[in-house]
Amino acid sequence: MPLTLTRPELQRSAYFIAGQWRPAAASGATLAVTDPATGVVITHVPDCGPPEALAALDAAHAAFPGWKKVPAKQRAQIIKRWNDLVLAHQDDLGKLISREQGKPLAEGKGEVAYAASYIEWFAEEATRMNGEVIPAPVPGRRMFALKEPVGVVAAITPWNFPAAMIARKIAPALAAGCTVVCKPAEDTPLTSLALVLLAQEAGVPDGVLNIVTASREKTPEVVDVWLDDARVRKITFTGSTPVGKHLAQRSADTLKKLSLELGGNAPFIVFEDADIDAAVEGLMSAKFRNGGQTCVSPNRVFVHGQVHDEFASKLSTRVAALKVGPASDPASQIGPMINDRAVEKIERHVQDAVARGAKVLAGGRRLSDLGPNYYAPTVLVNADATMACSCEETFGPVVPITRFNSEAEVIAAANDTPFGLAAYFYSTDVRRIWRVAEVLETGIVGINEGALAAEAAPFGGVKASGYGREGSVHGLDDYLHIKYLCQGQL
Ligand code: SIN
């Protein structure tokens, strides 16, 4: 089915440097963008390499002194106009997201509103980059701390939330007075390009925001140009832990600031005193958002022996009723996975779990009759820590349930992972709530709540899930440094 947009020019097939849309990479190579529901090519975009990465960086570097000096209120007004344009094009952007990423249309449009909420938030935060007047320890001196933008930011964004992650990284960078070079995920460049067009229309000056598209093969060449160049002062990345480690290692020579939103392995714990219906609802919303392709998606579910069977049975009934289908069908609740590799990983995890003794209560198979990348929402019981689905992030619609018998046992199991992004638990005991919230080794904890996302909240992890916070009053700090001024002879 053709992609029909109210404003067809939002579908771009060019990269953007120094205020110009450029249709071809120097090499002439192109990257096919496909619909994950069908595998059919939607369009091609340029497959950029080092020459385009360098041109983007030159433009961002040249634009930085001017953008940094634009008064915060004026930067805020431009970013606010960007927010307004994003919301005005919610339908078209939602269609682009759903078509290239696969999430159902209602979720695609929801993601646009979610993205806009970050843009609006950081437009407002731009005007609150207050410094400090510090009491001087001796007479005749005044001491101050100013906040300044770090410089050029390289933003490397993922495919699972192609609008929200661009917004959450680029809006604070612009608000702080930084300029940006961006490389969107190879699977979902179209949403990012449309957002950049709207930023241009909102009045973001030439060179302040630059974006280059690149395939999986060319991405390392593009990113290495930015990693090795001292003019890039900050890297912001959402993606896998191995890539995050590579970025940290390779940028060490030029000592860049880094924000890394990396992999997760979120535990979801249901205690014996939990409200079971609320826990089932919480898991449904946390787990099946974007078909489980979310960094904060519960990956390991632990249920107390006393309530295990009730929880597993209620959950399986809900999961079996989920409607799987393409974004184009308004009834769809779960879309296709992003690509073959994603479905193969899910299949491998379920097969491994079953081979090691897990039992399938719902799903447990590919849905090849629907298209190439569909997998049935799945519930497994008898999961244990030896299974691949307990050690690796499945990033799909699979719920492996492990039975536990004591709080100490489940806390040890929940924390027994290198990762530390999100954790969830359900309990009605207020003492236990504080005890457990404080010992979970994660950056985010959902307590009797599955839907945690909000622009006003600090999003980020600990341990191998990375560092830095996005959103909230802290989200601007990663794009700023503090300059100390000391004036004497007063
Ligand atoms: C992510 O999966 O990286 C982001 C999820 C969210 O914003 O809630």
Task: Supply the DSSP string of 276-324, one letter for each residue.
Answer: HHHHHHHHHHHHHGGGG-STTSEEEEEEETTTHHHHHHHHHHHHHTPPB
For 301-397, where are the alpha helices, taking DSSP H only?
Answer: 308-320, 340-355, 388-391
Distances (CA, A) of 218 to 27, 239, 358: 11, 17, 40
Q: Give the helix/strand (H/E) hosting 75.
A: helix 72-88
Place of tokens 């447990």: 364
* Pairwise CA distance, residues 341 & 364, whole Å: 17
Distances (CA, A) of 267 to 229, 285, 423: 39, 15, 5
* Pairwise CA distance, residues 407 & 445, whole Å: 16
Query: Distance from the CA of 63 to the center of ligand 1, in angstroms?
Result: 30
Q: What is the three-class DSSP state of 261? A: strand
- Which atom of ligand 1 lies closest to the CA of 294? 2
Query: Distance from the CA of 165 to the center of ligand 1, in angstroms?
Result: 8
- Which atom of ligand 1 lies closest to the CA of 114? 7
What is the model's pLDDT at position 270? Answer: 99
Residue 238: CB within 6 Å of ligand 1?
yes
- Which atom of ligand 1 lies closest to the CA of 295? 2
Please choose, from the candidates 365, 426, 364, the residue with its C-alpha nearest in 3D space to the C-alpha of residue 400.
364
What is the model's pLDDT at position 459? Answer: 98
265 within 8 A of 417, measured Cβ to Cβ: yes
- What is the best residue among 117, 165, 338 to mutate for testing ligand 1's pocket, by most ligand atoms within 8 Å of CB? 165
Query: Distance from the CA of 446 to the center of ligand 1, in angstroms?
Result: 14
Tokens of 16: 């953007």
What is the model's pLDDT at position 155? Answer: 98
Residue 295: CB within 6 Å of ligand 1?
yes
* Pairwise CA distance, residues 193 & 93, whole Å: 10
Identify the active-site residue in 107, 111, 120, 261.
261
* Pairwise CA distance, residues 196 & 181, whole Å: 11
What is the model's pLDDT at position 2? Answer: 79
Closest residue to atom 8 of ligand 1, CA basis: 453
What is the model's pLDDT at position 343? Answer: 98
> In which residue ranges of the chain is pLDDT below 50?
none
- Cα–chain-centroid distance for residue 402? 27
* Pairwise CA distance, residues 80 & 87, whole Å: 11
- Which atom of ligand 1 lies closest to the CA of 293? 2
Query: Distance from the CA of 73 to the center of ligand 1, in angstroms?
Result: 29
Identify the active-site residue in 295, 389, 393, 470.
295
Query: Distance from the CA of 296 to the center of ligand 1, in angstroms?
Result: 6
Record the pTM. 0.97
Residue 70: CB within 6 Å of ligand 1?
no
- What is the best residue among 118, 295, 442, 465 to mutate for testing ligand 1's pocket, by most ligand atoms within 8 Å of CB? 295
* Pairwise CA distance, residues 221 & 200, whole Å: 27
Catalytic site residue 261?
A: yes
- Which atom of ligand 1 lies closest to the CA of 168? 7
Please choose, from the candidates 155, 163, 162, 171, the residue with its C-alpha nearest in 3D space to the C-alpha of residue 119.
171
Query: Distance from the CA of 215 to the center of ligand 1, in angstroms?
Result: 22
Q: E-strand spans in 76-194?
A: 132-134, 142-149, 152-156, 179-183
